[in-house]
Structure 1
Amino acid sequence: MKAIPNEQLLLRKVQEEDDNASFKLLFDWYWEMLFHYALKKAKSQDLAMDLAQETFINFWKYRKRIGEIKNLQSYLVTMLKYQFFKWIDQEKIIFDELDSIHPSGSYIDSTDGFKIMEFNELYTFLMDKIEELPVRSKQIFIQNRFENKTVRELAETYCIAESTVRNHLSQADSKLQAQLENNLMAVAFLSLMMA
């Protein structure tokens, strides 16, 4: 999927001028892509809609603190994956509460919603590590993980065998995991990206 024309201008208007019309253009451009990506991960239309919606809600809510975004599509997909990771974590908390022999009386949600600073640090950290990959591996990894291109589509795009595409993805996964092993949150997040 190509970036929306004038994306950087629209982003600036959203971030600096609280421009609803620019936000709506970005929303309309990326909504379907995010929904389908979420559906692929969540296997539930309702959850996919919630995750995509929550991604845009948080994008708007924290627009002033996000900073410069070079690739909005990658940023939104990563934000959606973070939302999915949080949903999985939240479900575990709820099930742990339900399974508890001695319920604590009242359940208090200790999470404070979307932690944009934590997400931005994680996103920057991951993108820096992806940037260090060899050029072809990086291209294939980004198109597979962020643009949902299949192995077959990538093989056709680069005129290489599907096994070569799989090798590039495997090598990229191995290199990223090795570099991220000291950052548990990043490793957990990366494992969701690879699913």
Structure 2
Amino acid sequence: MRTLTPLHQLAAEQKSAEVTDWAARISWVVGLLLFIALVYWLMRQGWKWRGSLQSDLPELTAAPDGLAGETALLTLTGRYHASTTAGQWLDRIVAHGLGARSRAELTLTARGLDVRRPGATDFFIPAEDLREARLDKALAGKVLPEGGLLIITWAHGGTLIDSGFRSDRAAEHPAWVEAVDHLTSTTEGTAR
């Protein structure tokens, strides 16, 4: 008869413990799923609460009739990222669908900026409500390389709003800043 060395004896004793407590494991998984559902529900309630706090913001302006036949100064295809209170890059506005990210088609005319968003609310910013355009890197939690976002500041119902867009061709952004700023200076000159 062969004697076992301590190493062989140790190897012979080690084996995996059998899983016998399935109820405890299933209850942990169910508890984790319920926790995830609770966090999701709380986030959704927070979004609704933010929308109710911003309920004093008037409905968005629709594009005026005859705008389609007007000469476009610039067009842009890209993404709409968010709108925030001007100067407050984390204070997202969610009222009237402004919090929903989407594809966007922008058309700048002498009458204003037409924003078409498939799957989200379209809106129009009259030229007299446009304030400025600039390049930035962050808006409502979205951070991109320097100059990666086109930010257009506009007035709506007594509130200044920053809306962020990113063109499919980022090289278009400086032309947009120049065109919007030119339009706002022209509009301000005629309003005086």
TM-score normalised to the size of structure 1? Answer: 0.21
User: More strand by proportion, 1 or 2?
Assistant: 2
User: More helix by proportion, 1 or 2?
Assistant: 1
